[in-house]
Structure 1
Amino acid sequence: MTPKGAPAPRRNAAATERTDPPPEPADRRPDRSATERTAPTSPLEWVAAGIGALLIAAMIVYMVQYGLREHAEVPGRIDFTVTETQAGSHGHTVRFQIRNRTAATAATLRVRGELRSGDRVVETSEVEFDYLPPYSERFGGLIFQRDPARFELRIFPTGYSEP
Structure 2
Amino acid sequence: MSEQSGSRDLPIDPKRDAAGVSRLEWIVAAIGLLLVSGSIAYLIHTGLTKDGTPPDVVVSVDQVLPGEQGFRVLLSARNSGGRTAEEVEIEGRLTDGGRTIETSAVTLDFLPAESRRKATIAFRNDPRRYQLELRALGYREP
Structure 1 residue 90 and structure 2 residue 69: aligned? yes
| Equivalent residue number for residue 123 of structure 1 | 102
| Residue 62 of structure 1, CA deviation | 6.4
| Residue 104 of structure 1, CA deviation | 1.3
Q: Which has the larger radius of gyration?
A: 1
The letter for the 2-side match of 1:84 is Q
Q: How does 1:103-118 map to 2 (within 5 A)?
A: 103-118=82-97
Q: Which of 55, 58, 63 is the equivalent residue of 1:75?
A: 55
RMSD: 1.9
Q: 4+ runs of 1 displaced by more than 6 Å?
A: 59-62
CA distance in 2 between partners of 1:127 and 1:150 (Å): 21
| Residue 63 of structure 1, CA deviation | 3.3
| Residue 65 of structure 1, CA deviation | 4.2
Q: Which of 47, 57, 82 is the equivalent residue of 1:63?
A: 47
Would the alpha carbon gap of residues 159 and 86 (structure 1) be closer, same or farther in structure 2, given more than 3 Å must change? same
Q: Which runs of 5+ in 2 are unaligned?
A: 1-40
Would the alpha carbon gap of residues 60 and 88 (structure 1) be closer, same or farther in structure 2, given more than 3 Å must change? closer
| Residue 61 of structure 1, CA deviation | 7.8
TM-score by length of 1: 0.57
TM-score by length of 2: 0.65
CA distance in 1 between partners of 2:120 and 2:46 (Å): 37
| Equivalent residue number for residue 136 of structure 2 | 157
Would the alpha carbon gap of residues 121 and 64 (structure 1) be closer, same or farther in structure 2, given more than 3 Å must change? same
Whether the 8 Å contact between 2:58 and 2:136 is mirrored in structure 1 is no
SS of the equivalent of 1:149 reads helix
Q: Which runs of 5+ in 1 are unaligned?
A: 1-55
Number of residue pairs aligned between Structure 1 and Structure 2: 101
The letter for the 1-side match of 2:54 is V
SS of the equivalent of 2:54 reads coil
CA distance in 2 between partners of 1:61 and 1:93 (Å): 41
Would the alpha carbon gap of residues 62 and 144 (structure 1) be closer, same or farther in structure 2, given more than 3 Å must change? closer
> Identity percentage over the alignment?
32
CA distance in 1 between partners of 2:131 and 2:60 (Å): 14
**Hey, which of these two has a bigger chunk of strand by percent?**
2
Structure 1, residues 63-107: CA drift from partner, whole Å, max 9, x if none? 3442xx42xx2213x222211111111210000111111111100
The letter for the 2-side match of 1:120 is R
